[in-house]
Amino acid sequence: MIDTLTSEGFSIDLSANIPVPFNFSISDITEPNKRKRNFSKSIKLEGTQNNCKFFQSAFSFAATESGINFDPTAKTSAVYSKRGIVIMHDAVIQLQDVVINDGNITFSINIFSETVDYFLILSKVMISELGWSEYDHILSRDNIIASWTAPIGSGYFYPLIERGNIREGALIWNTTDILPYIYFREILIKCLEHVGFTIDSVWLETTNIRNVLLGYGGGDAQLENINPADLSQRVVSVGSGNLNYSRNITFTAENSPFSWFGQVIALDLTSSIFSSTVVQDSLEQYSTTDVDITIQRSGNYTFTTAGVIRTSVTLVGFANFQMRNSRFRIFKNGISVSATGDYTTTSLVHNLNVAHSYTTFCQSGDVISFRFDSGQFKSFPQLLPLNKLFQVAVTTPTPITINVACIDTSVTDGSLISLFRFIPEIKCSDFLIGAIRQFNLYSSDPSEDGVIKIEPLIDYYSGTDEFTDISHLVDHSKDIKVTHLGNDYGKTLKWLFKDNKDSDNVFYKDKWGSGYGDYAFEQGSYYAKGDQSIQLPWSSIVPFQIAPGILVPRFITIDQNSVKPNKGAPRLCMRNGLKEGAWTFRRADGGLPHQNMTSYPCIHHFNNWNDPTFDLGFQLPSQLFYITNALTTNNCFVAFYSQFINEVISPASKFLSLYVYWTNEDVRNIDFGRLIMVNNSLYRLNTIKDFDDNISKSTYIELVKVLGAKKKISKNFTIVAMANTIDTFVPSPIGVADDVPFNPGGKNTVSLNTPFIKLG
């Protein structure tokens, strides 16, 4: 249970979380976090001992043999919290009825409130904190390549981007040059899940929306440094390593005492002779059975050992002998790479200190093992009879410890990629506001099961053949007011991506006077004043042709032909999948072979730049920086705003406010998505205010008149051959988005590293 309802010092027992409104009204669509609206909800509460005590105190509830009594006129203030955050501080509780069935008591209450603020909860959480660990993965070419064909809508995608970091060539990328993006759809789902909702949406499951990505905006990428948590996971610490082994050796004709003989005892440490205790091993790299370490993540590692190995010799039949070359060795994939020891002694007991440190680069899958060699033996003087014995025992008076640590400070192949580290730092509330503004979203109240319907505003409403006629419910004793919404809007209406200082963005804005993908127009009302902007929390991308057919966004600044990374806002874009183009893909650690690729992972503001049918921008750009012969004017303004804007600024627009005779049951079951008819005209329900059927028999509502299918027509078109003058203005094809100019070309300068883009 994550909801709490408290009143007058009582914490009321809830049997379920309380669904509360989550609607965004037309009149304040640009600032949904500042909305205020009435809330009314009927809740059933179990008659627990605590609840009975509360209702006895607040509503004079009593259940006796003569019946049930309570004060129906009483009310009490309450506070409703979710996830420990107050979202209703001014709630009022009304007791509607009490039911007793077979001795079980149920209280039915209504909760009223003037404000509901889910944005307060979402403002406390970053989208990177919504839980992404299921997508953590090892950095490798295979995993990056797999993301290019993985299902759309969830997980991650590695697009090709020019970050301004030093690369070996214009068409050469290492694994650490490419960063993961996440899906817009999944972020929205996780945001709403955080406040207890699931989403029902046709729009959210469309191919276009499932392909929308959000990610890295430029600057010094987090990929440059390994997450400390990752380094901690790579640590292996083994203690209490005890070696216990013995063997009898016989001098024979084959191993004459007259010369050094044999690596008599070469002990590969295994569980049969070596016991140990695992102190730390998050990745389960150490095997207590084989006494070896299988590296899970590539990198530079230091292997540190400590302890003492004692070799004790007992002679049988002769008095003197020599021993040499006892060693403790570290092996990598079966090859000796480091050793400590190597001495000659006549002592029958020798302590070998195995304190040792060795550093090497390991790839994922490399196996590190350990061996002790007891050395070579011979007797002296040399004239002794054969077939005499000596006994060798190997023990550890000081137990052996083995410690492994990755010493890298930067990510390389085999490093763990924790996805949350590459997710832009955006508050969930800001993301939700951005989603509403980008796609003009509208949401229903949650169902009893916490399901909410989310669709773009116009799509949210039913068709014009589905409506509820409330003409007979209008309270004609109160004012019926008609106003024109357009006068209350700004003279100039703008849709603006967050500004970025990339060289391509700056060049475009300097030349055309607006941001890439932004849109602005003046409405016709003489009385409208000033500007009204819908500002997004992310930027668009400017696709740039770096080679024939290869388009990448460039998050860079160019100063006197010097290219540097440019830190900017997060980027919203669309996955275009794999597009044809030749480039080279290398491991960051220099591992071979290099891969010569024939296609690249493309992102764009179009859903498919070769044959686009949708654009994430709000206006067709006035200039492109790549060669194409296909464009579309079906963008976010056309698809999601044009009809809505027409209904609020058209001279025929009408904002109707009136009072209707609606009961508590009517309001509780209202469907904001169903059109309303008043006197043979269709309206969209915008707001219900000040509802309380105990105070007033009629309720104030606001309606927006439906003007029919006035959505702006969009077209997909092919560009014919045009003049190739660098700064010559070239209009759009006739009849296509007349308010949108189009210039097919880039800037012919060395610093932009591209020729003028020619068409035809």
Most confident of 222-236, 402-416, 427-441: 427-441
At 439, the amino acid letter reads F
Query: Which of 88, 117, 146 is where one domain is finished?
Result: 117
Yes or no: say if 382 and 229 are a contact pair by the CB < 8 Å rule: no
544 sits in which H/E element:
strand 543-547
Residues 242 and 365 reside in one and the same domain: yes
Task: State the DSSP code for 730.
Answer: -
Q: Rg of the chain's alpha carbons, rounded to an integer?
A: 37
Residues 23 and 59 reside in one and the same domain: yes
Residues 564-589: tens digit of each pLDDT: 888 889 999 999 999 999 999 999 88
Query: How much is the average pLDDT of 487-495?
Result: 83
User: In this structure, is residue 701 part of a structural domain?
Assistant: no
User: In this structure, is residue 343 part of a structural domain?
Assistant: yes
Query: How much is the average pLDDT of 548-555?
Result: 92
- Could you tell me the CA-to-CA distances from 263 to 260, 370, 460, 503, 629 in Å, in that order? 10, 16, 82, 68, 76
Yes or no: say if 403 and 244 are a contact pair by the CB < 8 Å rule: no
Phi, psi of 669 (to 5 degrees): -100, 15
User: In this structure, is residue 388 part of a structural domain?
Assistant: yes
Judge whether residue 531 has pLDDT over 70: yes
Query: How much is the average pLDDT of 535-543?
Result: 95
At 40, the amino acid letter reads S
Residues 259-275: tens digit of each pLDDT: 554 445 778 888 889 99
Task: State the DSSP code for 361.
Answer: E
Judge whether residue 253 has pLDDT over 90: no
Percent of the chain past pLDDT 70, that is, above it, reads: 81
Judge whether residue 316 has pLDDT over 70: no
H helical segments located in 88-140: 118-122
Phi, psi of 72 (to 5 degrees): -75, -15
User: In this structure, is residue 497 part of a structural domain?
Assistant: yes
* Region of poorest pLDDT, from 169-178, 259-268, 611-620: 259-268
Yes or no: say if 299 and 361 are a contact pair by the CB < 8 Å rule: yes
Residues 637 and 730 reside in one and the same domain: yes
Judge whether residue 22 has pLDDT over 70: no
Instruction: Write the burial class of residue 553 (CB in 10 Å: 0-12 exposed, 13-18 middle, 19+ buried).
Output: buried
pLDDT bin (cut points 50, 70, 90) of residue 693 is: low
- Could you tell me the CA-to-CA distances from 599 to 179, 252, 584 in Å, in that order? 17, 70, 10
* Residue of 410 and 302 predicted with greater confidence: 302
Residues 108 and 138 reside in one and the same domain: no
Residues 291 and 365 reside in one and the same domain: yes
Per-residue H/E/C for 488-513: HCCCEEEEECCCCCCHHHHHHHHHHC
- Could you tell me the CA-to-CA distances from 149 to 145, 153, 311, 579, 602 in Å, in that order? 8, 12, 59, 12, 12
* Region of poorest pLDDT, from 26-35, 207-216, 553-562, 639-648: 26-35
Angle in degrees, 0-180, between the axes of helices 184-194 and 428-439, rounded to the nearest 10: 130
Query: How much is the average pLDDT of 589-608?
Result: 92
How far does Cα 593 stand from its chain's mean position? 32
Residues 139 and 99 reside in one and the same domain: no
Task: Compute the Cα dihedral for 252, 253, 259, 263 and give only its sign.
Answer: negative
**What tokens appear for 676 in the block?**
């309303």
Distance CA 37, CA 702 (A): 12
Place of tokens 């695992």: 278
Judge whether residue 367 has pLDDT over 90: yes
- 569: how many CB neighbours lie within 10 A of its CB? 19
Task: Compute the Cα dihedral for 6, 8, 11, 14 and give only its sign.
Answer: negative
Judge whether residue 709 has pLDDT over 60: no
Most confident of 279-283, 361-365, 491-495: 279-283
Residues 103-143: tens digit of each pLDDT: 889 998 888 765 566 777 788 889 998 989 899 888 899 99
What are the DSSP E strand ranges found in 47-84?
62-64, 67-69, 76-82
Residues 625 and 495 reside in one and the same domain: yes
Distance CA 74, CA 80 (A): 19
**What tokens appear for 61 in the block?**
């509830």
Query: How much is the average pLDDT of 365-387?
Result: 71
CATH of the domain at 332: 2.60.120
Strand partners, 551: 545
Q: Which is nearest to 645 in space by CA: 526, 536, 515, 524?
A: 524
Residues 258 and 218 reside in one and the same domain: no
pLDDT bin (cut points 50, 70, 90) of residue 197 is: confident
Phi, psi of 64 (to 5 degrees): -125, 180
What are the DSSP E strand ranges found in 292-433?
292-294, 299-316, 321-324, 327-332, 335-341, 344-345, 349-353, 356-362, 367-379, 389-406, 416-417
Judge whether residue 759 has pLDDT over 70: no
Residues 50-76: tens digit of each pLDDT: 999 999 989 989 887 777 888 888 888
Distance CA 661, CA 472 (A): 9
Residues 131 and 97 reside in one and the same domain: no
The count of structural domains within the chain is 3
Reading phi first (left if > 0) and then psi (alpha if -120 to 50, else beta), residue 75 is in: beta
Place of tokens 């006077």: 513
Residues 500 and 615 reside in one and the same domain: yes
Domain extent at residue 39: 3-117
Q: Which is nearest to 159 in space by CA: 143, 180, 177, 174?
A: 180
pLDDT bin (cut points 50, 70, 90) of residue 537 is: very high
* Residue of 735 and 326 predicted with greater confidence: 326
Yes or no: say if 545 and 628 are a contact pair by the CB < 8 Å rule: no
Residues 83-111: tens digit of each pLDDT: 777 767 778 888 988 988 888 899 988 88
pLDDT bin (cut points 50, 70, 90) of residue 396 is: very high
* Residue of 17 and 583 predicted with greater confidence: 583
Distance CA 110, CA 99 (A): 15
User: In this structure, is residue 44 part of a structural domain?
Assistant: yes
User: How much is the pTM?
Assistant: 0.69
Residues 346 and 214 reside in one and the same domain: no
Query: Which of 117, 138, 156 is where one domain is finished?
Result: 117
Classified as helix, coil or strand, 420 is: helix
Judge whether residue 468 has pLDDT over 80: yes
User: In this structure, is residue 605 part of a structural domain?
Assistant: yes
**What tokens appear for 719 in the block?**
């560009």
**What tokens appear for 526 in the block?**
């003489």
Judge whether residue 476 has pLDDT over 90: yes
Judge whether residue 323 has pLDDT over 50: yes
Residues 66 and 147 reside in one and the same domain: no
Place of tokens 């550890």: 396
User: In this structure, is residue 381 part of a structural domain?
Assistant: yes
pLDDT at 753: 31
User: In this structure, is residue 663 part of a structural domain?
Assistant: no
Yes or no: say if 272 and 289 are a contact pair by the CB < 8 Å rule: no
pLDDT at 18: 66
Judge whether residue 242 has pLDDT over 80: yes
